[in-house]
Structure 1
């Protein structure tokens, strides 16, 4: 896969994108998204709620006009991690999901998480990205580490045991610069 893959990230339209996202979040490869049994109206309702929320946003990532990933950004002071860690100014939470495909591309998911992180850090107010993936999701732990995340500790959320991890802007820049050196 080319290291010059570019993505366009746009706001998710809960009604227009619901059918597409429904297929992604109910796919067996999206088991950690915890929506495997969701019906289309459930997905519409979930993303309409996110669209209306003050501290939570959802986005679709596109490559060459084709939707290829879902990204959520949230304020962990108000969503997901309330009372589970000590937030710092400039913290932002993130989830991402790559669309299932029958023709996987080597390095594609890493390119997606790199683009997601670059998008988040494009906001100068963001100082640190916080994630809380399921402790058993080893694939995402490796991806997170590749872009600079450092695990902090396991936490208990209502829906899962999660690995709380953080990535500062400097950690992200160092990790992606190191990856570029390896490819050069």
Structure 2
């Protein structure tokens, strides 16, 4: 299941692990392709198309900046190399003549309604755009974030890049139940997200899941972006975006570590309600839920 500790202001915010969910603190929700079907408890009998169509490609300029193509809905993203708090860009462009390698393109047949097409959303902090991860571009910055001590405690993915690459790739080449994304705020990459089907995740064995429950994990990468309330602001925006783009989804869920007070507080600020404490394989978590029916009240 996704990271459970995504502390909005502590650098991680997982929904389900939304603000700060840590892969370590949770069960792996997506296994390597080679192991697909090996664990019938975690994988439903899903019949997906045999071929995937590359919807997006991405160009990186010589100056290291990422630009969104003509068909993208967000402006160009700039990547600042001044501190570990900055995130590498994650813009996308349409590639008409040549499709990028299948292992690095967003899965157009994901089970979440094509997250790549969700587009930007307005927030009090500025427009936020979730752009599916491209390993060759985003791995260095994500790896740096995951090795930040403040993040490691809850995500549990600290270590060499190849281990983090495996975590990302397992989602990108999986059956589409989880989509890792870079979050661009006002065009600048500053956060890492995982949007996933909580009802198809091992997490569903630990709470009364409902069809189409959507989980969210958030990691705020920049030190300068932590501790100022951004977590709650962005979590609310993304949770509402998921509800808007997935009509069949009635709830967005998260399971931050119960000890991660900033993360739990961020979810409450974002309109999630505390539902229960649940015991997961590597932690005791606070089950946080944002209900469609209550979204305009909380």
Same fold (TM over 0.5): yes
Q: Decide which of 28, 31, 34 is 2:149's aligned counterpart.
A: 28
Deviations 1:115-141 (A, max 9, x none): 221321222222101111111011011
Unmatched runs of 5 consecutive residues or more in structure 2: 1-122
Is 1:114 matched up with 2:236? yes
SS in 2 for 1:145: helix
1:53 corresponding residue in structure 2: 174
**Alignment partner, residue 148 of structure 1:** 271
Q: Give the superposition deviation at 1:105.
A: 7.1
Decide whether the 8 Å contact of 2:182 with 2:193 is kept in 1: yes
TM-score (norm 2): 0.54
Question: Matches of residues 2-21 of structure 1 in structure 2 within 5 Å?
Answer: 3=124, 5-21=126-142
CA distance, structure 2, for counterparts of residue 83 and residue 90 of structure 1 = 15
Alignment of 1:20-169 (within 5 A): 20-30=141-151, 31-35=153-157, 37-54=158-175, 55-102=177-224, 104=226, 106-123=228-245, 124-169=247-292
Partners of 1:5 and 1:111 within 8 A in 2: no
For residue 85 of structure 1, report the CA deviation from its aligned partner: 1.5
Larger radius of gyration: 2
Q: Distance in 2 between matches of 1:103 and 1:93?
A: 23
- Matched residues in 2 for 1:65 and 1:9: separation? 10
Determine the C-alpha separation between the residues in 1 that align with 2:211 and 2:284: 25
The structure with the greater share of residues assigned to strand is 1
Closer, same or farther: CA 56–106 of 1 in aligned 2, 3 Å = same
| Gap runs ≥5 in structure 1 | 176-184
- Structure with the larger RCO, 1 or 2 (CA within 8 Å, 6+ apart): 2
More displaced stretch, 10-19 vs 109-118: 109-118
Contact 1:18 1:40 in 2 (8 A): yes
When residues 103 and 78 of structure 1 are mapped into structure 2, their CA distance, relative to the original with a 3 A threshold, is closer
Output the aligned Cα RMSD: 1.9
Q: When the two structures are superposed, what TM-score results if normalisation uses the length of structure 1?
A: 0.85
- The alignment partner of 1:173 has SS state of coil
After superposition, the C-alpha distances for 1:3-32 in whole angstroms (9 at most, x for unaligned) are 251111111112321111111111122121
Say which SS state the counterpart of residue 164 (structure 1) adopts: strand
Structure 2: how far apart are the matches of 1:164 and 1:47? 24
